[in-house]
Structures are given as structure tokens and as C-alpha cells.
């Protein structure tokens, strides 16, 4: 039996995730009291149910009962017939506040903190910190549209083996903030910037003209070689430790040229080594002028 526990910050997109999980064949239960998760699994066993894939959403709405989720996870992960994973959904404080204002919905802790959204979010982060540490998958939704979020969820859970490692290669621009969902972050702003080449300025690292320019420098080739050696060394260690998702991010100034080049080339290298790879260029279309 596959059991996915979906949790994370209120307003980060758990409802959208649960919609996708239902679409791809999971039996979904929203806002279940954590103590009932193990009981529901037992019920499926005893009834000889055909339910083999379950997704449950748990969050701060369960109040004091939320503390039980860690115990439930510990109990279930030691059962031989249950493959339990945790998906953590998060977004920046500013984005969460903006979403609540736009939808005119109240935060679940609104009354507890007398409408002070900053305090409510800070308290929720503290309550969720332990779950974030044990999560098998992370999705940071600050810069994702609803469609992009759904696509990432599908890529994670459609036709995957339970013990596979999914490697997500992403690019970003430091102008828009460091990627918070990444396990490994590499700053490639030390390399020559195609932005200063007029004929390359409006192109991206997805195009050969930019990639060829970036990689025409000895320091670019040497850096890529060293990063490739490091990542090739680390991946088997992560697999051995049972990690299900590895997020590797490359950052440049605007997330359009150098970081995209390195993400594209690393994705190509890893695919050639038969790893499951996703690519995501977070900021590639945000700024047409900054490279």
C-alpha cells in the first residue's frame, strides 16, 4: 500500500495537490485527524479493500491533534506493507499573505492571533518544522502557477517506482531570491555574462547560441566538470540514504542565461546516466533585460 501524507503551510497549495492525487488514482482524504490515519490503513487491510494508493492531507486545521502526525508517521514507516511518504508544500510569507488577501479567506489561525497574519504564519512554521525535516518531497509554490504545480505533482507520482530518485534541475535568478526548496545551490555568477553581448541578451540558456558562449570559456568548462564530479559522487550517497527527490539549483543574476545553461547541461548529463530528471527554469521569462 502506498500512503502519501500531504502537509505544509496553509495557502501553499495543498488543495490543488490533493485534486491531482485524486485525478491520478489515489484515494484522497482531506483534513483527517492524524490519529485516524493508522486506523484507516488498518481498515483497508481488514476489509480486503482494493484501495492501494492513499493520499491524506493534514495541516494546522486539526488544532492540538496535529502534533500526533509525527507519531503516526513513525508507526507506519516501520510496517512492511505500507510505503509511507511525506510531501511538504510551502511558499514564502509574502506570497501566503498575498494569496489570503486576494481570496479574502481567513487563515486557520486568524482568531488565535486576532487577525495578525505574520504571527499566524510564524507560529505555523514552528509547528510544521519537524514535518519539514522528515519530508521525502518538497514543492515551493511561491513562483508556480496552479498549472505548473499540478504538472510537478504529476511528474513526481505518475509511473514511478517507489525506490527511485527523482532529480530536479532548476535555474533561478538571485534578483528574485534564492531557491528555498533546493538541496544543493550553486552560484554561477562568477562566469562571463551573456547579457553584455547585445546579440545574446534576449536569448536564453535553452538556446545553443547562449550555451556555446557560456561554455566557450575555460573557467566555465572547468567549473562544470568539477560540479559534475561532485554531483556524480553525491547522488549514489543520497540513493543509499533512501532520498526520493533531490533538487539541484543553479543561480545567476536574472535566471536567464548562465544558470539556465548549467541546468540544461547538467540535466543532459544526468539523463545520459539514466537518472530520472525534471527541469524547471523558475525565472527565465520574468525579466527580458537582466541576464
Mean pLDDT across the chain? 87
Q: Do both 189 and 241 map to the same domain?
A: yes
- The answer to whether 78 and 27 are in contact (CB under 8 A) is no
Q: Do both 64 and 198 map to the same domain?
A: no
Q: Do both 223 and 111 map to the same domain?
A: no
C-alpha–C-alpha distance, residues 37 and 112, integer Å: 26
Range of weakest confidence among 36-45, 183-192, 209-218? 36-45
- Specify if 289 maps to a domain: no
- 289: confidence class by pLDDT, cuts 50, 70, 90: very low
- Specify if 291 maps to a domain: no
pLDDT digits (tens, 9 = 90+) for 141-171: 998 888 888 888 888 887 644 335 789 999 9
**Overall number of domains in the chain:** 2
- Specify if 287 maps to a domain: no
- Specify if 286 maps to a domain: no
Domain that holds residue 46: 2-157
Q: Do both 101 and 51 map to the same domain?
A: yes
- Specify if 176 maps to a domain: yes
Q: Do both 185 and 250 map to the same domain?
A: yes
Q: Do both 93 and 229 map to the same domain?
A: no
Please tell me the predicted confidence (pLDDT) of residue 70.
77
pTM above the 0.75 mark? no
List CB contacts of 264: < 8 A, sequence separation 6 or more.
169, 205, 206, 211, 279
CATH code assigned at 30: 3.40.50.300
Q: Do both 131 and 151 map to the same domain?
A: yes
- Specify if 101 maps to a domain: yes
pLDDT of residue 72 exceeding 70, the answer is: yes
Highest mean pLDDT among 106-110, 123-127, 128-132, 182-186: 182-186
C-alpha–C-alpha distance, residues 37 and 58, integer Å: 10
Domain boundary among 157, 174, 195: 157
Read off the pLDDT of each residue in 128-134 and give the average, rounded to a whole number. 84
Domain boundary among 97, 125, 157: 157
Domain boundary among 125, 157, 189: 157
- Specify if 39 maps to a domain: yes
Please tell me the predicted confidence (pLDDT) of residue 238.
86
Phi-psi region of 132 (alpha: psi -120 to 50; beta: other; left: phi over 0): alpha
Read off the pLDDT of each residue in 73-90 and give the average, rounded to a whole number. 86
Strands 245-252 and 184-187 come out as parallel
Cell of 49: 479493500
CA atoms within 13 A on the CB side of 21: 22
Amino acid at each position: 500500500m502506498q500512503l502519501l501524507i500531504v502537509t505544509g503551510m496553509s495557502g501553499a497549495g495543498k488543495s490543488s495537490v490533493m485534486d491531482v492525487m485524486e485525478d491520478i488514482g489515489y484515494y484522497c482524504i482531506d483534513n483527517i485527524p492524524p490519529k485516524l490515519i493508522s486506523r484507516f490503513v488498518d481498515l483497508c487491510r481488514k476489509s480486503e479493500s482494493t484501495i492501494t494508493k492513499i493520499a491524506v492531507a493534514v495541516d494546522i486545521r486539526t488544532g492540538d491533534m496535529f502534533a500526533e502526525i509525527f507519531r503516526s508517521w513513525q508507526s507506519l514507516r516501520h510496517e512492511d506493507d505500507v510505503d509511507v511518504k511525506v510531501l511538504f508544500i510551502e511558499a514564502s510569507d509574502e506570497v501566503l499573505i498575498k494569496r489570503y488577501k486576494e481570496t479574502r479567506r481567513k487563515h486557520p489561525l486568524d482568531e488565535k492571533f486576532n487577525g495578525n497574519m505574520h504571527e499566524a504564519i510564524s507560529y505555523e512554521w514552528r509547528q510544521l518544522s519537524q514535518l519539514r525535516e522528515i519530508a521525502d518531497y518538497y514543492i515551493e509554490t511561491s513562483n508556480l502557477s496552479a498549472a505548473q504545480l499540478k504538472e510537478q505533482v504529476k511528474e513526481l507520482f505518475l509511473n514511478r517506482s517507489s525506490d527511485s530518485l527523482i532529480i530536479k534541475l532548476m535555474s533561478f535568478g538571485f534578483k528574485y531570491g534564492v531557491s528555498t526548496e533546493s538541496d544543493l545551490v550553486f552560484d554561477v555568477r562568477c562566469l562571463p555574462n551573456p547579457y553584455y553581448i547585445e546579440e545574446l541578451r534576449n536569448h536564453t540558456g535553452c538556446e545553443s547560441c547562449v550555451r556555446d558562449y557560456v561554455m566557450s570559456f575555460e573557467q566555465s568548462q572547468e567549473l562544470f566538470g568539477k560540479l559534475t564530479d561532485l554531483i556524480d559522487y553525491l547522488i549514489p550517497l543520497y540513493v543509499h540514504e533512501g532520498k526520493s527527490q533531490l533538487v539541484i539549483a543553479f543561480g545567476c543574476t536574472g535566471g536567464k542565461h548562465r544558470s539556465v545553461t548549467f541546468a540544461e547541461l547538467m540535466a543532459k548529463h544526468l539523463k545520459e546516466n539514466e537518472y530520472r530528471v525534471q527541469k524547471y527554469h523558475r525565472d527565465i521569462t520574468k525579466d527580458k533585460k537582466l541576464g
